[in-house]
């Protein structure tokens, strides 16, 4: 491997001075951060997929835009029927529809599922509300785990059986802090 000199750089010869220990975008040679596994920067990924970032773009099209044109060869890998149906099932108004689709999910292709969802799911103006535990429930679970030296699942079972008031007493025993 030959050494690159300032004269080479100034003359335009051998300008490949990329650090071999770092990752660069395969299309535009932009330096990538360490978390990037695709080999492309965000701008090039968006160009390749036609602007599709992921799951929520498909969900928005199914529930709001109703165009049905997002799924193609480049975006097929980003369409996950299980996750789409999971998010749609959080809306109790369409839960029965999602349940029917879920029964036939294995016999349908991704394109069929996507088009069927676009056609059958009614247009909604509401956004998705992801159900999650409150901060107090998570905190109480951690105190119960610590007190009894048990797994998170077991701690949640204890709290479900004995109640949040009981878990609050355990938290008080620790003085409210770990």
Bridge partners, 24 (sequence order) = 31
- Which of the four pLDDT bands, split at 50, 70 and 90, describes residue 87? confident
For position 63, what pLDDT does the model report? 86
The residues spanned by each domain of the chain are: 1-48, 55-120, 135-173
- For the full predicted model, state whether its pTM sits above 0.95: no
Bridge partners, 31 (sequence order) = 24
Instruction: Specify whether the CB–CB gap between 52 and 78 falls below 8 A.
Output: yes
| Nearby residues of 97 by Cβ (< 8 Å), 6 or more positions away | 88, 120, 121
Q: Which of 38-52, 117-131, 137-151 has the lowest mean pLDDT?
A: 38-52
Instruction: Specify whether the CB–CB gap between 80 and 62 falls below 8 A.
Output: no
Give yes or no for residue 3 having a pLDDT over 50.
yes
Give yes or no for residue 71 having a pLDDT over 70.
yes
């Amino acid at each position: 491997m030959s050494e690159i000199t300032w004269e080479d750089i100034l003359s335009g010869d051998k300008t490949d001075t990329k650090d071999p220990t770092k990752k660069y975008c395969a299309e535009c040679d932009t330096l990538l951060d360490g978390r990037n596994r695709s080999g492309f920067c965000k701008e090039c990924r968006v160009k390749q997929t036609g602007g599709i970032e992921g799951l929520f773009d498909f969900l928005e099209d199914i529930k709001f835009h109703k165009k049905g044109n997002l799924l193609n060869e480049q975006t097929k890998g980003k369409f996950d029927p299980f996750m789409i149906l999971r998010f749609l099932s959080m809306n109790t108004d369409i839960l029965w529809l999602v349940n029917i689709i879920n029964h036939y999910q294995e016999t349908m292709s991704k394109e069929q599922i996507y088009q069927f969802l676009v056609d059958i799911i009614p247009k909604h103006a509401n956004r998705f509300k992801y159900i999650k535990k409150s901060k107090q429930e998570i905190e109480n679970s951690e105190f119960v785990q610590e007190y009894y030296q048990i797994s998170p699942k077991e701690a949640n079972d204890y709290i479900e059986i004995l109640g949040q008031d009981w878990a609050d007493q355990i938290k008080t025993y620790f003085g409210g802090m770990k």
